[in-house]
Amino acid sequence: MIGILLIFHGSKVSSWNEVADGYKKLLERFFKNVEYGFLEYSKPTIKDAINTLAKKEDIDTIIVVPVFISEGTHYKRDIPKIIGMDNEGYISVDNKRVKIILTDALGVDERIALIIKEKVEKIANNLH
């Protein structure tokens, strides 16, 4: 069975936790095992969240979803290092090997552009 790990950058501002929790709840409509972790500043950490998933008896694969627009240094270097994947793409937690699959960043996506359009129109329509 799969687990889903959402990764957010994190911030000293507490609203990051509310956003992350909101996405977790939305995705729990579709997937049974969803957790989130923050790269920095906030809790839970990526390591804490991935360990929570990996320790569940029925999870053998964790799909890691960085909630980032592009694939910069955090995506390419920091996230794999924090997760602690071996060369075969596995982690070991409590003598259990779990496959880790890292998705692409969100990238350019028409659905995101439509959200931006909606936000701009909402403000622009109230200007006149």
Catalytic residues: 9
H or E element in which residue 112 lies: helix 110-125
For the chain, the farthest-separated pair of C-alpha atoms sits apart, in whole angstroms, at 63
**Unique residue bearing structure tokens 């409590």:** 94
Identify residue 82 by its one-letter amino acid code.
I
Nearest to 105 by CA among 50, 39, 44: 39
Both tokens of residue 113? 């552009």
Show the tokens assigned to 1.
């069975």
**Strands 96-102, 90-93: pairing kind:** antiparallel
Q: Which two tokens stand for residue 12?
A: 């000293």
